[in-house]
Structure 1
Amino acid sequence: MAYQRQPGMRDLEPYRSDYLYWDLEEVARAAAGPIPVTRPGDEAASLALERWASLVRQGAFFKAVGRVNWRVVPEAPRLAPTMLSRIQELGELVDAFLAGLERQLAGSPFLRAELGFPPCAQEETIWEVERYRAVEMLRLDLALENGENPKLLEIQVVMGGLGITVALRRAYGPHPCLPGILPLYEAALERVRGSLPEPGSRLAAVLGARRSAYRHEHLLLARSLEAWRLVVAPLWTLSQTREGALALPDGREISLIHRLFRSPGIFQRQDGKASMMMGALSRDKVRFLNPWKDVLEDKRVLALVHHPQALEHLGGALDSGQLERLRAYVPPTWKATPGVISSMLGLPASKRDLYLKKGRSFESRALFHGRQLSLKQWEAACLRAKLEGDWVVQREVHAEPWSWNY
């Protein structure tokens, strides 16, 4: 390969056996390709191009080989220490809320009804196996309301985007107050290591789709880890050994998986492989980072935050003051019940500052922004939500993008 290794990253060559997709040579060619030249004296454009070139050389691609799938700015916005403190408080409140939810869910008809749990029989079985295993990391999707108030839009237990985050830190330089993803991720792996069926087991990022848009950024993440070897593989490549363990096509066994598929959808698309993985989990042959607790990222969790009876069903995880502080971080969110849907039908565009979101959706799928739809489209989305019964309505957060010129 013509590709040259980047500082802090492993060579691509070993990933002929550890990256089980078809396009490794394409990634190498794209990362080694020519970089455009800017006009002399255009410092901002030159700096932006330097950042972009760093991302390309690292292979920070998304959805297509060679594509850096966002606008690259000369300098990254810097969050003030006070903003970081507020985000830390939000994280602590979310942790406490989810911990209470985890403890109470199994025996609470109220929580089960509010969250539509379980959405499939397999998830009930998985919960019984995983319920006492800790969620090691969460990804919180935030927007800054009016540029200053952090608002929580989504919680992700199944985490993509880590490799892109590593690449951005490398391109722009470290934040003085933040450690970066890599040490946090490796620390989470070390916490799980002691519970593995076999010490020193390989880690695999298992992507559900054959053409997953996340394959390149997980290749980047794999090449950046220091103490762990990460195999990037689609789910269909795994098989079961005679002993019930999981193995790659070359026979190497896998016992720790960074899971990048979700239920119930995976049981609809790849039931055989998903059931095989669930069996390995039940037989204690594999561990997941994070545990298979997809209910915790259901968008109905955010509606639960605003439910008037939430406090009494969380087993004391939060007091009333803490719950109110958490509510201040979460934009108004409601379950899309038939009554709520009926009140939204016929709303003019000026009053549709609302999002309709399916509870278990991801990657902006099954998401509708009321102000960007015609009345006919809006009513069709509302009727779909009413029919399917597992949607939420969330008030739009007005967030101004950071401005830059180059």
Structure 2
Amino acid sequence: MQKREYHSSKYIREIPLTNPGTVSVGRPSSSMTNNNHRPNNKMIRHTAYKEQCLYIKDRLIEDGVYINWNISPEPFFMEKKELTFIESLGRCLYLFYSASNNLYYQSIHGKQPEWIAGYLDQGKPQSLIEYARMNRMKNLLPGIIRPDIILTKDGMVATELDAVPGGMGITGSLNSAYSSTLFIETDNKIVGEGEGMADGFLNMLKSAAPRIDDPVIAIVVSEESRDYRSEMEWLAGAMREVGVNVSTIKPEDIIFTEEGLYIKSGENRCKIDVLYRFFELFDLMNIPKAELIMYSAKKNRVSITPPFKPFLEEKMLYALFHHPMLREYWMTTLGEKVFSVLHKILPPTWILDPAELPPYGIIPGLKVGKRPVACWAELKQATQSERKEFVIKPSGFSELAWGSRGVVVGHDVSKKEWGDVIDRTLEDFYRTPHILQKYHKGRHVEVNYLDQSTGDIKTMKGRVRLCPYYFVYRKDVKLAGILATVCPLDKKLIHGMTDSVITVVASS
């Protein structure tokens, strides 16, 4: 594929740009810009920002990844101390996945309580449970780790982990666009820089087939995940530019034989060495040729990542991490330092299980106000002030478990609605388990953006979600980019809505 060429000079003219600094995160401080003010300095900066936004937007459209969000003229700046912590967090989260994997297998073999695997298998088809338990699957872990991090007044909180994340192509395109602008100088580097996402993704995929020098790679995107197809095509295009044989395909495009899986290549066909699974396991019944894909992996005819292990895609892993009976396991397996980091950043979580407790029992660590909770009916009586502490989410293996679908914030609904949600989730436990999680409100940040209706540069006061992308290469964990999504203060949930500003993170 011919390398794409962009001409930023089309948008950045002879305008004296300044490289803004930052107080902590978000919008740069005006006191740190050029102090040699001229009467029209503000107007020049406004024009420069507008031109910058138009350039970024044009890049995203040309890359095929733009979906009508607000464009910022600059990345989201963070202090190096905070970025150093985020970079080191990847290793901690990898160890968490590894320890969770080990905990599950110990549970099914009687070395840990059987209720652990019972919870993690709840609502899954038996055939998938048995497939995930095969010996050859035992050591397989996700090759991509992406937490959702909320910046709060008290620090960072990783509200979720996603092993099949969207946003990779958007982050890569944004990284490339911002890295090519005049706003980024030597001391203000984009995290991952221009090629980090594509390089990280490629190295992760290659590590899935370490004995093959130049593997044939297929990124398989399902119909249910079609909204992400264009960004996965961007990633594939970036890898083809460096000579990789990679295609973005639909499941039905796969050709099955007993020797392996193939894709068409001109008049011929190529055997797939590595298959990247960009489809959710709850959707397997709707995936054409899913059984043939799983059969080929079982017979070691193809390497697939992430693995078919639904228990590693459950939010209830957080509840197991915070369970007092398992504290010794986590401390011993992770080590005290990693355990301490995760204990601070993973919010307290409880599984909404309808099973009755004995009269003297309580749910460990759960309080409404200052009162310990002995049954879920007590949670239904929480006042609005008390409900602001909690959020309810599907744990996983559900079409409602991603993209903020199915999430209910306690103080965003009435007391009756809150009670109805609790009743409904308890009734759904055996089909779709839910979790209760401590809700953390993000601290206020500011970002500049181009108002598409007026064409003016405005400042949004909002809250930010950071999505770092870590790629695993043979147990080495590398941070390749961070997507920043800022939503207005009146929004309880932070996701990629049309009102949001989406950019990437740079060091200040």
**What range describes the TM-score normalised by the shorter chain of this pair?**
0.7 to 0.9
Aligned to 1:171: 177
Q: Whole-Å Cα distance in 1 between the matches of residues 61 and 339 of structure 2?
A: 43
Structure 1 residue identity aligned to 2:262: A
Flag structure 1 segments of 5+ consecutive residues without an equivalent: 9-38, 62-66
Query: Which residue number corresponds to residue 307 of structure 1?
Result: 323
Per the alignment, do residues 386 and 188 of structure 1 end up closer, same or farther by CA in structure 2, a change over 3 Å counting? same
More strand by share: 2
Quick one: structure 1 residues 171 and 343, their matched pair in 2 at CA, closer, same or farther if it must change by over 3 Å? farther
Pick which of 155-164 and 111-120 moved more.
Answer: 111-120
Deviates more, 1:355-364 or 1:89-98: 89-98
Q: Secondary structure at the match of 1:138?
A: strand
> Of the candidates 415, 430, 434, which is equivalent to residue 375 of structure 1?
415
- What is the match of residue 262 of structure 1? 280
Amino acid at match of 1:372: D
The secondary structure found in structure 2 opposite 1:310 is helix
Question: Cα deviation per residue 1:274-311 (whole Å; 9 max; x = unaligned)?
Answer: 22211111111111122233322310011122111223
Contact (CA 8 Å) 1:204, 1:232: kept in 2 or not? yes
Give the superposition deviation at 1:141.
1.4
User: How far did residue 316 of structure 1 move?
Assistant: 2.8
- Matched with 2:394 is 358
Assess if the C-alpha contact under 8 Å between 1:345 and 1:382 holds in 2: yes
**Alignment of structure 1 residues 282-361 onto 2, 5 Å:** 282-314=298-330, 316-338=332-354, 341-353=376-388, 354-360=390-396, 361=401
Residue in 1 aligned with 2:118? 113
Pair 314,127 (structure 1): closer, same or farther in 2 beyond 3 Å: farther
% of aligned pairs identical?
21
Answer yes or no: is the 8 Å Cα contact 1:266–1:274 preserved in 2. no
Which of 37, 43, 51 is residue 48 of structure 2 equivalent to? Answer: 43
Aligned-pair RMSD on alpha carbons?
2.8
Q: Is the 8 A contact 1:51 1:72 kept in 2?
A: yes
Distance 1:42 1:237 in 2: 48
Alignment match, 2:82: 83
SS at match of 2:347: coil
Cα drift, residue 227 of structure 1: 4.0
User: 2:208 aligned with 1:203, yes or no?
Assistant: no
Question: Measured at CA, do residues 149 and 7 of structure 1 come closer, stay the same or move farther in structure 2, by a change above 3 Å?
Answer: same
* TM-score, normalised with respect to structure 1: 0.80
1:217-239 deviation per Cα after TM superposition (whole angstroms, max 9, x unaligned): 11111111124232112223324
Question: Bigger radius of gyration, 1 or 2?
Answer: 2
Match of residue 192 from structure 1: 208
Matching of residue 385 in structure 1 with residue 420 in structure 2 = no
Query: Does residue 403 of the first structure (1) align with residue 446 of the second (2)?
Result: yes
From 129, 134, 139, the counterpart of 1:132 = 139
Match of 2:237 among 214, 220, 223: 223
In the superposition, relative to structure 1, how do residues 267 and 189 fare at CA in structure 2: closer, same or farther (>3 Å)?
closer
Partner secondary structure for residue 131 of structure 2: helix
Equivalent residue letter for 1:260:
F
Residue in structure 1 matched with residue 161 of structure 2 by the alignment: 155
Structure 2 unpaired stretches of 5+: 8-42, 108-113, 355-373, 449-456, 458-508
- Aligned partner of 2:469 in structure 1 is none
Alpha-carbon distance in 1 for matches of 2:301, 2:203: 22
Q: Which has the higher contact order (CA 8 A, sep 6+)?
A: 2
> How many aligned positions are there?
362
TM-score with structure 2 length normalisation? 0.65
**Which residue in 2 is equivalent to 1:212?**
226
Cα 1:236–1:374 change in 2 (3 A) is: farther
Greater helix share, structure number: 1
Task: After superposition, give the CA deviation of every residue in 1:1-22 in whole Å (9 maximum; x if it has no partner).
Answer: xx994459xxxxxxxxxxxxxx
Pair 326,232 (structure 1): closer, same or farther in 2 beyond 3 Å = same
Find the residue that maps to 2:447 and give its secondary structure. Answer: coil
Q: Aligned in 2, Cα 1:352/1:136: closer, same or farther, shift over 3 Å?
A: same
Residue 328 of structure 1 aligns with an amino acid whose one-letter code is: K
Name the CA shift for 1:177/1:53 in 2 (closer, same or farther; >3 Å). closer
Which range moved further: 102-111 or 381-390?
102-111
- Write the mapping of 1:235-274 to structure 2, written as runs, cut at 5 A: 235-241=251-257, 243=258, 245-248=260-263, 251-263=269-281, 265-270=282-287, 273-274=289-290
Where does residue 52 of structure 1 map in the other structure? 57
